[in-house]
Structure 1
Amino acid sequence: MSVGKRTSNPWLPPRWFIHLAWSTHRSLYRLSGGRVGLWRPGAKGWGTLRLTTIGRRTGQPRSVILGYVEDGSHLVSLAMNGWGEGEPAWWLNLQANPDATVDLVGGRRLVHAHAATGDERLRLWAHWRKIDKNLDAYAALRSAETAVVVLVPRAGASDTLPG
């Protein structure tokens, strides 16, 4: 560490609280029939979407609510696992089967996922950094690089499908 430069870990709530918050969010979404729990990203903030993947072990649909930003027609999320260690299950599922479905405020979309690399990753990470000034500090809490996940509309799929 250089002299005069102070680094500190950003505060995170305990893991049990993070799990409880996301579980509550999913329950509100489910109990409201999808009317509560999703929002569009704003100029200075991220939105939320519901991602449904196919379980890599079970072959069954698995859904999770994620934060995202838009990059043209692409949706971009971070495989951060609540800034904890390990890859989130949804990202492992997408690596095994990159085709998925997302539910957005405006409807359902069929997508194909990939991890951003090179210049694409740098550009998208910088976009997230504008939204969250502590992004690099949070990412430093993990021993592995946080994947930037790009959800691309599937070829031949209509932009949005009925929910």
Structure 2
Amino acid sequence: MPVLGALTRRVGHHRWFGAAVRLLVPADRLVGRLTRGRVVALGLIPSLVVTTTGRRSGRPRSNPLLYVPDGDAYVVVGSNFGQAHQPGWAMNLRADPAAEVAVKGRRVPVRAEVATGAERDRLWRLLVTEWPAYRAYARRAGGREILVFRLVPTGRGVPGGPGAPA
């Protein structure tokens, strides 16, 4: 898998890659659901599944995303593969920042914080170190602000958090 992960990072900046991955997202969601979040993005890159509340439907919406850790938080980016519009899950988080992530088979309630200023710059550097293609996505977004979220654990399922075993 390390070779496939390196290859994925190498071709990730191409426009065709984003289109191909968007076609695979439904299959990735299914694999994530069947493995209870243990396998996302075929295990090629560090990934989680974020479940938000649909801003119009009020229904749960789950999406696999690349993430980087930042302390006990998870950092994700609303790049939408460089498309001109924000991804739905990012707009859902802006409307209701309460969400849940499934990462490595563990479900964790989180609260989304939109990073700004120097904090955004620091987190962006972490993200592009893990996935250099984010630079190409930012160029293709045509001036649209790409949102960077810090998903901060809020309680149950968090080591030492409320409801965690002693």
After superposition, the CA RMSD in angstroms is 2.6
Q: Which consecutive unaligned segments of at least 5 residues does structure 1 have?
A: 1-9
- Please show how residues 8-87 of structure 1 align to structure 2 within 5 Å: 10-13=13-16, 16-37=19-40, 46-87=45-86
Larger displacement relative to structure 2 (13-22 or 52-61): 13-22
Identity %: 36
Point out the structure with max Rg over C-alpha: 1
User: Which residue pairs with 2:96 in the alignment?
Assistant: 97
* 2: CA distance, partners of 1:97 / 1:73: 21
Larger displacement relative to structure 2 (15-24 or 103-112): 15-24
Larger displacement relative to structure 2 (29-38 or 96-105): 29-38
Task: Give CA-to-partner distance per residue, 1:21-52, whole Å, 9 cap, x none.
Answer: 21221122234454432688xxxx95111111
Structure 2 residue 153 is matched with structure 1 residue 153: yes
* 1: CA distance, partners of 2:37 / 2:150: 23
* 2: CA distance, partners of 1:32 / 1:103: 10
- State whether residues 115 and 150 of structure 2, in contact with CA within 8 Å, keep that contact through their aligned partners in structure 1: yes
Normalized per residue, the structure richer in helix is: 2
CA gap 1:71/1:16 in 2 versus in 1, 3 angstroms: closer
* TM-score, reference length from structure 2: 0.77
Larger displacement relative to structure 2 (85-94 or 129-138): 129-138
- State whether residues 56 and 97 of structure 1, in contact with CA within 8 Å, keep that contact through their aligned partners in structure 2: yes
* TM-score, reference length from structure 1: 0.79
The amino acid that maps onto 1:140 is R
User: Which residue pairs with 2:137 in the alignment?
Assistant: 138
* 2: CA distance, partners of 1:15 / 1:124: 22
Q: Which consecutive unaligned segments of at least 5 residues does structure 2 have?
A: 1-12
- State whether residues 54 and 61 of structure 2, in contact with CA within 8 Å, keep that contact through their aligned partners in structure 1: yes
CA gap 1:135/1:37 in 2 versus in 1, 3 angstroms: closer
* 1: CA distance, partners of 2:18 / 2:135: 19
